[in-house]
Amino acid sequence: MSYIFIDVRKKIAEIVGQSVKEAIDSKELVLNFVSPDKLFSKISIEIPNNRGYGEFSSNIALISTGFFRLPASEISEIILKYINKNCNLCGFIEFCKIENGGFLNFYMNSTFFCKIVKEIDNFGDDYGNSDFGSMCELNNNTFIESNKYSKMPKKILIEYVSANPTGPMHIGNARLGALGDCIAQLLLKSGFAVDKEFYVNDAGNQIEKFGQSLSARYEQIFDEKAIFPDDGYKGEDIKILAKSFADIFNDKYINEDYEVRKRALIDFSLPKNIEKMKNDLEKYKIIFDNWFYESQLYKNGDIEKVVKLLKENSAVFESEGCTFFRTTDFGEDKNEVLIRKNGIPTYFAADIAYHFNKFLIRNYDICINVWGADHHGHISRMKCALKVLGIDPNRLKIITVQLVNVIRNGEINKMSKRDGRAEKLDRFIEEVGVDSARFIFNMQNFNSKMDFDVELAKKNDMSNPIYYIQYAYVRFASIIRTFDLNKIDFNKLNLSVLNSTEEKELIFKLSSFPYEVIESVKKLNPSKISRYMIDLASLCHKFYTEKRVENSDENLSYSRLLLCIQASKVIKTALNMIKISIPKYM
């Protein structure tokens, strides 16, 4: 799979490298006690952020002043001579020139722009798809291109949301969901073998508390004086569940043994909560390939097995009636409890077993976990555990997402799970809409904490860019509607008439889509692709305003029409990728 944009960028890097090499060989440039490889490794081709400086750019002259002991202007003059000689190695370069004291800027010819318009057509819905997933490796938290091309794409498990099933999902889950889902989509488009998973914490301590809370609320229905535990779940949802249980069983469980009553309430309530989560997420267009139940790890003995494995590696000791993991051996501040005094394994123990299952039972190459920032303290000890189990911790990539506050009428509602006052996901999605929510959450970098203003998200202007993008699509759709496409032979067009600034910039933006997808996936950051969409929409609107499609020149009309068709295809592909709806009218 190859794309003109990506190939040209690579080719230009080769030309620059070749030209520098020739300049050195001819002694016109002399390296100052530096190995040539060090210089060549620094060659990278950028896209000038300011349009009007050509399509591609190299700053090699600026960064090599120290290597050659010459001013950038002189170095660039020398390199340019050789570039001019080598330019014909790429058929798309019109010329290269020096600008702003040493930048070597490459301007593309009309063949380039014509070919791009046709290229999009050839790929159709697959435009932007790549086999990056077979030719990369995870290094320092980002994917980098690798020389090792594997026949099989990397097998990735991405786990996200994994909301606690003891209560309704909240706004924080909405951000994690939007982000995780878009990352998964990016990975799929980039040729990884991706499975999306929700980890259901249906066992352990918090389910015990869930049961205690339910039991207390159930008892309170029949006896107002029944005591509610201090650390119980205080949300209304618990009362409602207890009430519906009582509606069916009445006081049948009041005189039952406490453990029996608790179990009955849990078995009644948990499936209801999980079903509700599935429904809400589905409305949010998130569908998981697998729901993994923590209780499985208890039932099949995986937790015991993993603790035993850690023990065999002398990473475990007993103290004060607990089983500890010796995390201090890895430079942590303190040792972590795996099994409590009461015999119940901690979340940490279960999570080690879960990751053991991901890597060694199900054989994923890479696992990505999307976690709220409040979990970040869990990362390093998790990686310690992987080391002991013989799993390279670099194979686990954890994305921590900063928390979200909701702003209503200028007032902040801080998200907080425990007190039951957190913004609920279902209400939130209903109010701002799926498209807006998904887009806004993916627009901002996940490292920044977010104040989500509900009023702004509902507005139909650029405070909410999704409308801006959809509107660009709708405007082009309305142009396309006015033509009878069956009567036009697009193959016969002379597309070189698409040579205005508006047209060339739009085409160039379209050409970079496959590149942008890969750049986003490398950093596992969809905000890049969201901003690309806004830029693309902006160029569409400019073109729309400045250039009339239907005009007296038939070749020009149809060429512009074809450009509209290709641009709307790319917008559609991009919106589909992040699962945002594509309206025909607005």
Partner RNA sequence: GUGCCGGUAGCUCAGCUGGACAGAGCAACUGCCUUCUAAGCAGUAGGUCGCGGGUUCGAAUCCCUCCCGGCAUGCCA
Nearer to RNA, 70 or 495 (CB): 70
Q: Is 33 left (phi over 0), alpha (psi -120 to 50) or beta?
A: left
Selection from 120, 134, 80, 87 nearest residue 104 by Cα: 80
CB of 484 to RNA, least distance (A): 14
Q: Is 160 left (phi over 0), alpha (psi -120 to 50) or beta?
A: beta
CB of 482 to RNA, least distance (A): 5
Residue type, 531: R
Residues in the chain: 586
Q: Is 393 in the site for RNA (CB under 7 A)?
A: no
CB of 97 to RNA, least distance (A): 10
Longest C-alpha distance within the chain, in Å? 96
Selection from 48, 49, 31 nearest residue 40 by Cα: 31
In the list 91, 229, 301, 321, the residue contacting RNA (rule: CB under 7 A) is 321
515-574 residues near RNA, rule: CB under 7 A: 527-528, 531, 534, 538, 541-542, 544-550
In the list 68, 103, 292, 298, the residue contacting RNA (rule: CB under 7 A) is 103
- With beta carbons less than 8 A apart as the criterion, state whether 189 and 128 touch: yes
67-86 residues near RNA, rule: CB under 7 A: 72
DSSP conformation letters of 318-356: EETTEEEE-GGGGT-SS-EEEE-TTSPBPHHHHHHHHHH
Q: Is 457 in the site for RNA (CB under 7 A)?
A: no
Instruction: Residue 289: count other Cβ atoms within 10 Å of its Cβ.
Output: 12
119-158 residues near RNA, rule: CB under 7 A: none
Kind and range of the H or E run holding 355: helix 347-356
Instruction: Residue 489: count other Cβ atoms within 10 Å of its Cβ.
Output: 7
Q: Is 347 in the site for RNA (CB under 7 A)?
A: yes
Q: Is 348 in the site for RNA (CB under 7 A)?
A: yes
CB of 535 to RNA, least distance (A): 8
Euclidean distance between CA atoms 84 and 96, whole angstroms: 7
3-state helix, strand, coil split of the chain in percent (to 5) is 55, 15, 30
For CA atoms 539, 542, 548, 553, the dihedral sign is negative
163-182 residues near RNA, rule: CB under 7 A: 164
Euclidean distance between CA atoms 338 and 86, whole angstroms: 64
For CA atoms 109, 112, 114, 117, the dihedral sign is negative
* Residues ≥6 apart with Cβ < 8 Å to 208: 344
Beta strands in 140-275 (DSSP E): 142-145, 155-159, 193-200
CB of 545 to RNA, least distance (A): 4
Nearer to RNA, 135 or 474 (CB): 474
Stretch that binds RNA, among 4-12, 427-435, 446-454, 488-496 (CB under 7 A): 446-454
In the list 26, 32, 35, 100, the residue contacting RNA (rule: CB under 7 A) is 100
28-67 residues near RNA, rule: CB under 7 A: 44, 46, 48-50, 53, 57, 59, 62-63, 65-66
Nearer to RNA, 37 or 461 (CB): 461
Kind of pairing between the strands at 450-453 and 404-408: parallel
Nearer to RNA, 115 or 542 (CB): 542
Q: Give strand pairing partners of 424.
A: 170
Tell me phi and psi for residue 337, to 5 degrees.
-75, 135
Binding mask 361-380 for RNA (x = CB under 7 A): ------------xxxxxx--
Nearer to RNA, 164 or 269 (CB): 164
Binding mask 418-437 for RNA (x = CB under 7 A): --------------------
In the list 37, 320, 419, 484, the residue contacting RNA (rule: CB under 7 A) is 320
Binding mask 176-215 for RNA (x = CB under 7 A): -------------------------x--xxx--x------
**Residues touching RNA, count (CB under 7 A):** 85
CB of 80 to RNA, least distance (A): 14
Q: Is 414 in the site for RNA (CB under 7 A)?
A: yes
CB of 257 to RNA, least distance (A): 23
Q: Is 411 in the site for RNA (CB under 7 A)?
A: no
The two tokens of residue 515 are 């590149």
In the list 334, 486, 492, 552, the residue contacting RNA (rule: CB under 7 A) is 334
Q: State the residue for tokens 């091309």.
A: 149
Euclidean distance between CA atoms 408 and 431, whole angstroms: 12
Work out the burial of residue 48: count CB atoms within 10 Å of its CB; fewer than 13 is exposed, 13-18 middle, 19 or more buried. middle
In the list 105, 185, 357, 512, the residue contacting RNA (rule: CB under 7 A) is 105
Euclidean distance between CA atoms 94 and 112, whole angstroms: 9
Euclidean distance between CA atoms 569 and 117, whole angstroms: 11
CB of 541 to RNA, least distance (A): 3
Stretch that binds RNA, among 14-22, 28-36, 253-261, 399-407 (CB under 7 A): 399-407
Nearer to RNA, 288 or 354 (CB): 354
Any idea what DSSP says for residue 317?
A: E
Q: Is 397 in the site for RNA (CB under 7 A)?
A: no
CB of 465 to RNA, least distance (A): 7
460-519 residues near RNA, rule: CB under 7 A: 460-463, 465, 467-468, 471, 474-475, 477-479, 482
CB of 397 to RNA, least distance (A): 14
